[in-house]
Chain A
Amino acid sequence: VPAPRTIALLGPQGATPDVGAVVRELGIKGPIALVSAGYQERESDDAELVAALGVPAVNLTLHARGKHVFKHAPEFTAAYQARQQRLRHMQGFYRTRLDGTEDAARKISLRYVEPELLEQEEKVSVDQFRHMDNDHVERCQAVRAAFDRAWSPDNIEPLAKHRREVRELMATTDALVISGGHVASLLNRLQLFDVLGNVGAKPIIAWSAGAMVLTDRVVLFHDYPPYGSDIAQVLDAGFGLVPGFVVLPDARRRINLDAQAGIQRFARRMAPATCVAMDHGARLIFEDGAVRSARATRLTTTGEAERDWAGEPTRFSTPYLHGIHV
């Protein structure tokens, strides 16, 4: 997919959305193609959202279209659900492996040996996480690719009809806006209806889950899950329009930004990608693939939460990881 010229990633919108200001700054007059499929059943409750945009918008109703497809294409639906079930199982197994590596890393870190060796072992642990992350993404992509080979959308009605309609609707718009919500649902609906294949060079504005799916790797995270603790996990590949970034929305509520060791390991694990925590008001503006401006918190490989990060390039000071060029 050719990268659009301008992409704006925003933090959660909450009660005081700032998306309208970005629409104005980018000079978008509308109409805008709106994707709110991440809200699932609440997809069509978009009146406040459209008002916040400040320009006319047409909701692509991807969630509703998906339901329609699943209702009227039973064989395709059965295969699609089987694929999703397989991906869910794979996610669980990958997650179990992460736990095992986390346990091993913790045990090793407590051994009474020279600190230099422990530091080296920590790098080995990070490498193992990186390997598992990469392997998981590759396997997910393989499952999706096999499915796509078996089920050409052109041969499935009403999917082909909906894809045509989405393409035609998008042709009448000046920009694409993707809201937050359920990130897996959003990823799947955007793929199913090939929305990003139709965007061309039009600007894209996306926030929270919408921002996550535009990167090349969607990472699920929560330092305070209801069951106590958890480890970040890669969900799948994103659309890769903003490569080299890991977007972490709603960071204040979900990340312990004071946990230096945790931030360090996470940033090293995701390197060379730049890890960006985005709360309400945060933004990342890309122009022709490069950061034009930023207002966000960058998580660094030295374990810091750099709260006033303005988009300076990320540099790695030590050659501690296999395959990472410094």
Chain B
Amino acid sequence: MTPQIAALVNGPKTREAVDAFMAANTFPIVSGSSCTFVWRGDAEAVHLKHWVFGLPSSQQLQRVEGTDVWHLTLQLPEGSRVEYKLEIVRNGHGEWIQDPLNQYRARDPFGANSVAHSTGYAVPSWVHPDPTAAKGHVDEIWIDSNTFGRRGFGLYIPARFRRSRTYPVLVVHDGHDYMRYASLTTILDNLIDRLEIADAIVVLTSSPDRLKEYADDERHAKFLTEELVPYVQRLLPISDAPQNRCLMGASFGAVASLSTAYRYPGVYGRLLLQSGSFAFTDIGDRNPRGPRFDPIVAMINRYRAEPTVVSEKVFVSVGMYESLIYENRSLVPVLMSTGMDVRYVEARDGHNWENWRDRLRDGLSWLLPGPFLHVYE
């Protein structure tokens, strides 16, 4: 029990004492490796709901007897970032809410979660808008695809773009979600301005049926390689050197990136794979993740049986608190065995957009480095 809760338990249970406790602390209470979640109010039960693989996903908060304060302490290793909600049970029904005592939120396509930062975690400075950084802009473009019909995509053009130059191209799966939930355009602006990543044209793709199209669907690989990238190349001065072509994605988007490079070896020299849904089986073809994963299992099993060079440099990141850690850890030595240059990063985080956001500097600066190493002013 944290000292603050202990003081409340052992002290007077007056309203004034509880008010003083609430006013004196910020929540959750983080001290060393312990993180204490607190909720105040009347309920039959309160549960912490989180997505940390390896811990029970629902844990009950205890009520401080004689008060309306509920608490639960978890041990969170240094540098952890945990997304969660609170379930408030009243009249037998549970309602999931964001933690009203915690200002930190992370948004995603399903809404928003509260976020607990353990000791040692700080939101990176480069994810916030920097007023001194030159800003790129995003255009929305349409392509009439033979494969998928009419499709929209975003096109990030870096600040100080000039037609006389040639640019690398970065194709981002779920690109609009990366913009909305992982601050992608702000990060591109900042890292380009700091010379940490190259000035790049960024293609932001989104799919209306990503669970199918991203799951090793040959149509998707064909669309990207034979239609979308050549189309962008007709619009803008992008390099056709593999070293200057990067595919990126998270979860199923990482699968789509690997699958496309696998189907078109030698075209994409850089891959950024975040929390890839790289499900596989060591025997048989049944996997516990459901039929959506069947084509992925078939692809990864095939690749594990006969690993080949699909790119030059591959950056893989994954959260330690997500179930896919096993699949990603297993893929890395397979990729390395081919001789590709592979860099692998684990973070104390989950399967979420802010984990992917926080790894972008590591990955992009390694795959598409800017001139920081060459500039001495």
Contact = CB atoms under 8 A, between A and B. Distances in A.
B196 A181 contact: no
B343 A181 contact: no
Nearest to A248: B376
A220 B191 contact: no
B375 A182 contact: yes
Consensus secondary structure, chain A interface: mixed
Contacts of A185: 374
A9 to B, nearest CB: 12
B181 interface: no
Nearest to A12: B377
A28 interface: no
23 contacts: A12-B376, A12-B377, A39-B377, A85-B241, A96-B341, A179-B377, A181-B375, A182-B374, A183-B376, A209-B375, A209-B377, A220-B373, A221-B373, A225-B365, A225-B373, A226-B194, A226-B361, A226-B372, A227-B361, A227-B363, A235-B374, A249-B376, A250-B377
Nearest to A81: B166
* Tier of interface size on chain B: 20 to 34
A39 B364 CA distance: 24
A181 B191 contact: no
Contacts of B372: 222, 225-226
A180 interface: yes
B9 to A, nearest CB: 44
Interface of B: 160, 164, 191, 194, 196, 241, 341, 343, 361-363, 365-366, 369, 371-377
A208 interface: yes
Contacts of B376: 12, 180-181, 183, 208-209, 212, 249-250
A235 B365 CA distance: 19
A38 B377 CA distance: 8
A192 interface: no
A184 interface: yes
Contacts of B194: 226
Nearest to A92: B243
A228 interface: yes
A222 B372 CA distance: 9
Contacts of B365: 225-227
A204 to B, nearest CB: 17
A252 B343 CA distance: 27
